[in-house]
């Protein structure tokens, strides 16, 4: 098989696998009463602690207006608290509320178990190689994206 055909075959596999994994993760997160974006924000705060809104947005790949909306929703649910930075009023920190911390303490081990199951067919070496390969493909996609001219 030519390299071009193999690349197309692998791309199809990657996209199908990505869709399957995304659907599985969405279903898992919905069992906790959260959409994937809310869960991603909660996961960042659970693992890293209090963070500026801008940093959370970068970690979960959301624009500032979108991350503000998600945090508003989590705040209404009582899952997060906001705190204005004393040194720079433009910066707002977000942290898990006591209720959010308790919830993540309960559900994160279950979520981690689902992720562990996802990769149980791979050896440690295969898992590491997959991570490195996907990272390389992702960076290459960014490089190519930057060279494609936007339509006027």
For residue 152, the enclosing domain spans: 121-152
Q: Do residues 83 and 71 make contact, with C-beta atoms less than 8 angstroms apart?
A: no
Q: Report pLDDT for 151.
A: 63
> 59 and 39 in one domain?
yes
- pTM of the complete model: 0.81
pLDDT tens track for 39-86: 999 999 999 999 999 999 999 988 888 999 999 999 999 999 999 988
66 lies in the same domain as 97: yes
State the CATH number of the domain containing residue 43: 1.10.10.10
What is the C-alpha separation between 107 and 111, in angstroms, rounded? 6
Is 29 in the same domain as 57?
A: yes
Q: What phi and psi, each to the nearest 5 degrees, are found at residue 31?
A: -65, -20
Instruction: Count Cβ atoms within 10 A of the Cβ of residue 142 and give its class: 0-12 exposed, 13-18 middle, 19 or more buried.
Output: exposed
Pair (93, 66) in one structural domain: yes
């Amino acid at each position: 098989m030519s390299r071009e055909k193999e690349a197309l075959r692998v791309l199809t596999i990657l996209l199908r696998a990505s869709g399957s994994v995304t659907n599985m993760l969405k279903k898992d997160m919905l069992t906790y009463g959260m959409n994937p974006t809310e869960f991603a924000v909660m996961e960042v705060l659970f693992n890293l602690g209090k963070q500026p809104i801008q940093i959370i947005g970068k970690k979960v790949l959301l624009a500032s207006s979108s991350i503000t909306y998600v945090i508003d929703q989590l705040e209404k649910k009582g899952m997060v608290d906001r705190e204005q930075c004393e040194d720079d009023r433009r910066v707002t920190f977000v942290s898990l509320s006591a209720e959010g911390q308790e919830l993540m303490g309960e559900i994160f081990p279950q979520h981690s178990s689902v992720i562990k199951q996802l990769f149980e067919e791979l050896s440690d070496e295969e898992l590491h190689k997959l991570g490195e390969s996907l990272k390389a493909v992702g960076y290459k996609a960014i490089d190519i994206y930057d060279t494609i001219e936007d339509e006027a």
